[in-house]
């Protein structure tokens, strides 16, 4: 059976299934889609480390398939994520979404098993091309324009990667994807390419822009693959690059301000996603075995718990058609299971002991302390508190509790519940028995998350963070202007946040808006100019009379002749 | 014996079939005859290609007259590849011509149409195989005159002005070429290309030779649609009958480009063209301008045929860039792109032929929901578009990749960057079309897929884009061999 040929790259199965899904209908399609990640995962377990495919194309020695501990872990992760995502989206009967989801998952697998930069580039672009349909499938004007912005930025990332890969080849004579480093132009270009997909600060807008515009099920897939492939690529290409520590630290902190004031709960999760990736980037930057293990482990856990949160919000959006915190509330009465799962996800992302986030986040934080990065450690501490505040409390609180918005949609469909249950189970399982995850990490683990100092420190953070939230909410809930500004725009939430944060955010927002408007004005002016010259009636595009065409010929002839005569 | 005469047969077969087309009592028979002649020409080209790959150049003196006095045909690694693509594209386009032409041209004029087509094919093949500079001019005129006729047969009355403009500009170009050839004759007393090349070293770098080079580059530049001499091209492509757009876009400019390569490398030689004369700089500047300006114009264009025409101007920029780099790698990229671009533009225009057949318009706004109304057409269009953008695993990627590499190897960093920017612009203008096509159709528009005989040719070329993107033996392999053959010692 071909499935058991060990050198069959995992993406082949997904691509084949995507092709089959084009022609299958009804539950046949569902069966095939469900079988693929299961069969692929079992298959991957039977492949030995060190398996590789070699290929010679256009004079390049390529390695389209390479298995080692690092890629294997991401391989398992993506199989699990694909399976959960497919179960979650079983009720969707949209060929476009289903095919692109399979292609998307396959491309992510192709990318993490790519042994050379060329193959990586191909899957890098395939990730973009397949995922854009998950955003488009929402079929709204907003999603369409978000998809275009997403596409342009992601293709730019691909172009940077290609340029970097070329330069790297010129420099080293090899296409192999191993440690790259930033001491050369090629490395910088490649890092920029990874950085875009990884949502580095200032390069992050595509993420918060497009993910909340995708379909309820599409966002679940989107949140699992693109950024995690980038994290994998960073771990492979840039471990121990010090700059990444600071980039990552900034990533953990700045989204918190935005997340607190955001009203669209899926956008809140998108911001918190950048915050979680920040932890991983810090880990990659520190680059010790413990830190890299932490980064990888946290990527693994993040896919599961962020997926769980996205699924719970997706269920809410699916059933109520609303996703703004101001429009929701009191859903726990009609959606008890979804509420439970959401709280488990919230506990995991907030790194409660006995939940999965705790066992991986604390690895990165310990590594930061070991490496004498106290300031970074404090930033991470602040970020941990912030996560709990906006993702751990705000999401479940405003969606399921708080003021009853009078919505009685009923419980989510069984397939959604099953998908969420699997994720929730994994969150708790990894949290209680971290050795399951530790055993598959790229480096040997000599680390115990459950010593008293870790547990106590984390519980303290959580306690004070919760206390702060309660206090702010209680003190902010009774101001007299409540009735006039009730439950409307995100500005209500600023009452819950400390005045200081509110001011900072306001300032940041105005500056950002100012900058954005300035850039936008310039952009429109440029576009107008371009249209004037290049549009159908423009100088460069209109049909010219023959005389002027002939004039051009004369000009060109005269100038070439004089150039030749001068040099000749 | 017959193998030696094959190159003559490739020209004569369509040339003889052409007048017979007029005599056919029914349009359908003319079509069949044209198709048979074209396929025969393709079969001969394949045979020649194989022979040249194994045995090297084939020289055929016409009428038994030895070389410097008589005309001789030479088939070598460069032009055998061009022949292959010209006759191949002609055959595939003719496959879809019958239905498409039935709809676009009155049946009484159809025999004339196929006659003009065969004459054009014969002229293009003649231009590639001939080893004689004056004979090249003659074939150039044959192909040009017949292509004016082909373009003028478009449904839109604007086709007439477009054709007239092309006629005037083409004639100016041809005049320049004949002036250039005249100068060459003046300097060397010979019209045989190989012979001129042998005689040149004594007389090189005189005012005569410099003028010859200038007239030939500008004259060829007109036929190639080199920026800013491309102004005739958008209208000609936009208003010609659909299959003619596909045929001309994929072959005519390419053959002219081949002729330029031949003049520059075989006759003038690398040393004179690129070391003593600043041709590299001139071509590079014009090529970059072509890529940037034409791609930007394409973004704003609402008529998709015109958009593709401007995209052709940009793609021709890439080919000229390869020549400007003037290294083996650069010329390889250029020749490979000639081949690949023919495949992608052929597929795109044939897909548009399906659209014209069913919907009757190629304005961007009329194509809303095409992905549901004509899914197969949309599929072929998308594959060819990806190739045009330079998506890996398609033909378009391989030649762009070679070009970027050649530019980097020559130390032209900025140029390599500009090529990548050009690709981004291509993403934008293609996306604007694809985005309209995948929108849900406005009203409940029926599914109205084109008939198989229009779809199949478009798909043949679309699949060829993928095949040649993965198995690069024929396009890249022989382009490399051709470049080595052309540049000889120069690396």
B57-72 pLDDT tens trace: 888 888 778 777 888 8
pLDDT digits (tens, 9 = 90+) for B270-310: 888 888 888 888 999 999 999 988 998 888 888 999 999 99
Does B293 contact A162 at a Cβ distance shorter than 8 Å? no
Residue B469 lies in a domain: yes
Interface test mutation site (partner B, options A99, A549, A566, max chain B beta carbons within 10 A): A549
Residue A263 lies in a domain: no
Q: pLDDT at position A406, please? A: 76
Residue B137 lies in a domain: no
Residue A315, pLDDT above cutoff 60: yes
Element (H, E) at A65: strand A60-66
Q: Which residues have CB under 8 Å from A446's CB, separation 6+?
A: none
Q: Is B363 helix (H, G, I), strand (E, B) or coil?
A: strand
Residue B128 lies in a domain: no
Residue B139 lies in a domain: no
Does B231 contact A540 at a Cβ distance shorter than 8 Å? no
Does B476 contact A556 at a Cβ distance shorter than 8 Å? no
Q: pLDDT at position B416, please? A: 85
Does A556 contact B231 at a Cβ distance shorter than 8 Å? no
pLDDT digits (tens, 9 = 90+) for A88-104: 988 888 888 889 999 99
Q: pLDDT at position A6, please? A: 63
Residue B453 lies in a domain: yes
Q: Is B271 helix (H, G, I), strand (E, B) or coil?
A: helix
Residue B28 lies in a domain: no
Are A367 and A441 spatial neighbours (Cβ–Cβ below 8 Å)? no
Nearest to B298 by CA among B324, B316, B321, B325: B316
Element (H, E) at A189: helix A185-198
Residue B131 lies in a domain: no
Residue B471, pLDDT above cutoff 90: no
Q: pLDDT at position B58, please? A: 87
- CA distances, B90 to each of B36, B93, B97, B117 (Å): 11, 5, 10, 9
Residue A522 lies in a domain: yes
pLDDT band at A151 (very low <50, low <70, confident <90, very high): confident
pLDDT band at A550 (very low <50, low <70, confident <90, very high): confident
Instruction: Say yes or no: ipTM exceeds 0.95.
Output: no
Mean pLDDT of B95-120: 90
Chain A CB contacts of B398 under 8 Å are 58
pLDDT digits (tens, 9 = 90+) for A107-133: 999 999 998 998 999 999 999 989 999
Does A122 contact B176 at a Cβ distance shorter than 8 Å? no
Number of structural domains (chain A) is: 1
Residue A492, pLDDT above cutoff 80: no
Shortest distance, CA A520 to any CA of chain B (angstroms): 18
% of chain B beyond a pLDDT of 90: 44
pLDDT band at A477 (very low <50, low <70, confident <90, very high): very low
Residue B384, pLDDT above cutoff 90: yes
The answer to whether the peptide bond before residue B228 is cis (omega within 30 degrees of 0) is yes
Residue A534 lies in a domain: yes
Residue A508 lies in a domain: yes
| pTM, rounded to two decimals | 0.63
Number of structural domains (chain B) is: 1
Residue A517 lies in a domain: yes
Chain A CB contacts of B217 under 8 Å are 560
% of chain A beyond a pLDDT of 70: 91
pLDDT band at B378 (very low <50, low <70, confident <90, very high): very high
Segment B10-13 long-range contacts (CB within 8 Å, at least 24 positions apart): B10/B41, B10/B44, B10/B45, B10/B48, B10/B83, B10/B87, B10/B125, B10/B129, B11/B73, B11/B122, B11/B125, B11/B126, B11/B129, B11/B139, B12/B122, B13/B37, B13/B40, B13/B41, B13/B44
Per the model's pLDDT, the better-predicted residue between A55 and A281 turns out to be A281
Does B401 contact A58 at a Cβ distance shorter than 8 Å? yes
Cα–Cα distance between A4 and A45 in angstroms, integer? Answer: 11
Residue A390 lies in a domain: no
Q: pLDDT at position A479, please? A: 31
Residue A165 lies in a domain: no
Domain span at residue B453? 279-491
Which residue in the set A167, A549, A565 is minimally distant from B210, CB to CB?
A565
Interface test mutation site (partner A, options B160, B220, B296, max chain A beta carbons within 10 A): B296
Domain span at residue A543? 499-567
Residue A2, pLDDT above cutoff 50: no
Mean pLDDT of B121-146: 93
Residue A526 lies in a domain: yes
Residue A485, pLDDT above cutoff 60: no
Interface test mutation site (partner B, options A189, A548, A568, max chain B beta carbons within 10 A): A568
């Amino acid at each position: 059976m071909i499935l058991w040929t060990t050198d069959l790259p995992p993406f082949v199965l997904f691509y084949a299934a995507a092709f089959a899904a084009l022609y299958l209908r009804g539950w046949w399609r569902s069966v095939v889609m469900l079988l693929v990640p299961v069969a692929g995962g079992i298959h991957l377990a039977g492949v030995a480390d060190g398996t590789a495919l070699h290929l010679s194309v256009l004079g390049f020695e390529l390695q389209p398939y390479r298995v080692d501990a690092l890629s294997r872990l991401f391989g398992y992760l993506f199989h699990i994520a694909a399976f959960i995502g497919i179960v979650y989206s079983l009720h969707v009967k949209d060929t476009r979404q289903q095919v692109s989801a399979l292609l998307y998952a396959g491309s992510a697998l192709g990318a993490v098993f790519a042994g050379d930069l060329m193959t990586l580039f191909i899957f890098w672009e395939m990730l973009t091309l397949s995922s854009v349909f998950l955003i488009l499938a929402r079929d709204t004007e907003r999603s369409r324009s978000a998809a275009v912005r997403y596409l342009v930025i992601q293709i730019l990332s691909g172009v940077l990667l290609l340029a970097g890969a070329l330069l790297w080849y010129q420099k080293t004579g090899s296409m192999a994807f191993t440690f790259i480093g930033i001491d050369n132009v090629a490395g910088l270009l490649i890092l920029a390419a990874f950085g875009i997909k990884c949502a580095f600060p200032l390069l992050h807008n595509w993420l918060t822009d497009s993910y909340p515009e995708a379909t309820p099920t599409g966002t679940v897939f989107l949140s699992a693959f693109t950024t995690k492939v980038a994290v994998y690529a960073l771990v492979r290409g840039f471990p121990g690059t010090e700059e990444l520590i600071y980039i990552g630290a900034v990533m953990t902190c700045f989204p918190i301000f935005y997340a607190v004031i955001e009203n669209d709960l899926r956008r809140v999760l998108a911001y918190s996603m950048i915050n979680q990736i920040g932890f991983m980037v810090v880990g990659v930057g520190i680059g010790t075995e413990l830190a890299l293990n932490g980064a990888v482990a946290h990527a693994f856990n993040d896919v599961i718990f962020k997926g769980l949160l996205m699924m719970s919000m997706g269920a809410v959006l699916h059933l109520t058609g609303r996703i703004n915190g101001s429009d929701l509330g009191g859903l726990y009465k009609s959606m008890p299971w979804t509420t439970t799962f959401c709280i488990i996800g919230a506990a995991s992302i907030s790194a409660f002991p006995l939940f999965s986030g705790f066992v991986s986040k604390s690895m990165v934080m310990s590594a930061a302390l070991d490496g004498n990065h106290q300031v970074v450690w404090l930033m991470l501490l602040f970020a941990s508190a912030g996560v709990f505040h906006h993702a751990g409390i705000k999401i479940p609180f405003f969606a399921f509790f708080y003021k009853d918005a009078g919505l009685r949609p009923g419980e989510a469909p069984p397939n959604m519940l099953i998908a969420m249950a699997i994720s929730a189970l994994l969150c708790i399982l990894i949290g209680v028995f971290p050795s399951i995850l530790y055993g598959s990490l790229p480096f040997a683990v000599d680390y115990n998350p459950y010593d008293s100092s870790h547990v106590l420190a984390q519980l303290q953070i959580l306690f004070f963070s919760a206390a702060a939230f309660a206090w702010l909410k209680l003190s902010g809930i009774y101001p007299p202007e409540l009735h006039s500004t009730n439950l409307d725009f995100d500005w209500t939430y600023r009452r819950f946040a400390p005045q200081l944060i509110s001011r900072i955010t306001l300032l940041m927002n105005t500056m950002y808006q100012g900058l954005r408007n300035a850039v936008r004005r310039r952009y429109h002016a440029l576009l107008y100019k371009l249209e004037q010259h290049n549009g159908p009636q423009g100088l460069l595009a209109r049909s010219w009379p023959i005389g002027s065409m002939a004039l051009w010929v004369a000009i060109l002839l005269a100038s070439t002749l004089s150039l030749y005569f001068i040099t000749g | 014996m017959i193998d030696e005469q094959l190159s003559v047969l490739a020209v004569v077969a369509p040339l003889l079939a052409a007048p017979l087309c007029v005599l056919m009592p029914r349009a359908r028979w003319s079509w069949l005859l044209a198709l048979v002649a074209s396929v025969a020409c393709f079969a001969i080209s394949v045979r020649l290609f194989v022979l040249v790959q194994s045995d090297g150049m084939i020289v055929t003196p016409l009428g038994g007259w030895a070389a410097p006095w008589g005309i001789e045909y030479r088939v070598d690694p460069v032009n055998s590849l061009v022949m292959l693509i010209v006759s191949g594209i002609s055959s595939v386009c003719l496959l879809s011509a019958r239905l498409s032409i039935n709809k676009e041209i009155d049946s009484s004029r159809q025999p004339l149409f196929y006659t003009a087509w065969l004459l054009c094919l014969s002229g293009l093949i003649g231009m590639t195989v001939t080893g004689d500079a004056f004979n090249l001019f003659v074939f150039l005129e044959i192909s040009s005159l017949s292509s004016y006729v082909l373009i003028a047969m478009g449904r839109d009355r604007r086709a007439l002005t477009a054709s007239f403009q092309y006629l005037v500009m083409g004639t100016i170009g041809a005049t320049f070429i004949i002036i250039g050839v005249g100068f060459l004759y003046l300097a060397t007393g010979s019209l045989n290309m190989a012979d001129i090349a042998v005689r040149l070293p004594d007389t090189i770098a005189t005012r005569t030779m410099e003028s010859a080079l200038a007239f030939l580059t500008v004259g060829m530049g007109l036929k190639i649609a080199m920026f800013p001499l491309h102004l005739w091209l958008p209208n000609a492509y936009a208003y010609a009958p659909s299959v003619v757009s596909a045929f001309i876009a994929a072959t005519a400019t390419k053959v002219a480009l081949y002729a330029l390569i031949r003049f520059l490398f075989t006759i003038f030689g690398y040393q004179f063209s690129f070391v003593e004369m600043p041709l590299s700089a001139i071509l590079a500047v014009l090529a970059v301008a072509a890529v940037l300006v034409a791609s930007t114009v394409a973004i704003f264009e609402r008529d998709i045929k015109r958009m593709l025409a401007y995209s052709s101007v940009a793609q021709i920029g890439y080919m000229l860039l390869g020549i400007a780099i003037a290294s083996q790698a650069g010329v390889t990229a250029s020749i490979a792109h000639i081949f690949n671009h023919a495949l992608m533009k052929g597929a795109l225009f044939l897909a548009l032929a399906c659209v014209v057949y069913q919907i009757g318009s190629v304005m961007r706004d009329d194509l809303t929901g095409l992905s549901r109304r004509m899914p197969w057409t949309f599929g072929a269009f998308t594959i060819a578009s990806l190739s045009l953008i330079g998506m890996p695993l398609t033909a378009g990627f391989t030649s762009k990749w070679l070009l970027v590499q050649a530019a980097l190897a020559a130390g032209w960093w900025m140029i390599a960057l500009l090529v990548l920017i050009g690709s981004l612009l291509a993403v934008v203008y293609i996306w604007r079309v694809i985005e309209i096509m995948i929108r849900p159709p406005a009203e409940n528009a029926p599914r109205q897929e084109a008939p198989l005989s229009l779809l199949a040719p478009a798909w043949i070329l679309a699949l060829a884009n993928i095949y040649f993107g993965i198995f690069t033996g024929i396009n890249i392999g022989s382009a490399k061999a051709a470049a080595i053959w052309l540049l000889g010692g120069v690396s």
